[in-house]
Structure 1
Amino acid sequence: MKRLLSALLILLPLCAQASSTLRCGQGLISTNDSTSVVSSKCGEPLSRDFLGYREVIDEYGFRNEVSVEEWSYGPRNGMYHYLRFEGNRLIKIDSKRGN
Structure 2
Amino acid sequence: MKKSLFIGLTFLVFLLIGNHVFGLTVGNEIVSVGDLKHEVLLKCGQPRSKEIIGYIDRVVSDERIRVMKIEEWIIAVTSYGKTYYYSLMFEGNELKEIKSAGEK
| Kept after mapping to 2: 8 A contact 1:23/1:29 | yes
Gaps of 5+ in 1: 1-12, 14-18
| RMSD over aligned Cα atoms | 2.3
- Supply the AA of the counterpart residue of 1:40: L
Give runs of aligned pairs for residues 57-96 of structure 1, distance below 5 A: 57-58=59-60, 60-61=61-62, 62-74=64-76, 76=78, 77-96=82-101
Instruction: Output the amino acid matched with 2:55.
Output: Y
Aligned with 1:98 (options 92, 96, 103): 103
SS of the residue aligned with 2:46?
coil
Provide the TM-score with structure 2 as the length reference. Answer: 0.68
TM, length-normalised to structure 1: 0.71
Q: Aligned letter for 2:68?
A: V
How many residues matched? Answer: 82
Q: Deviations over 1:3-51 (max 9, x none)?
A: xxxxxxxxxx9xxxxx811111111111111000000011000001111
Query: Which residue does the alignment assign to 1:44?
Result: 46
CA separation of 1:24/1:48 partners in 2, compared to 1, >3 Å: closer, same or farther?
same
Indicate the structure whose relative CO is greater, using CA pairs within 8 Å and at least 6 residues apart: 2
1:52 CA drift (Å):
2.0
Kept in 1: contact 2:26–2:77 (CA 8 A): no
CA distance in 1, matches of 2:88, 2:41: 11
Distance 1:49 1:27 in 2: 24
Which residue identity does 1:97 align to in structure 2?
Answer: G
Pairwise CA distance, 1:53: 1.1
Q: Once superposed, which parts of structure 1, at least 4 consecutive aligned residues long, lie more than 3 Å away?
A: none
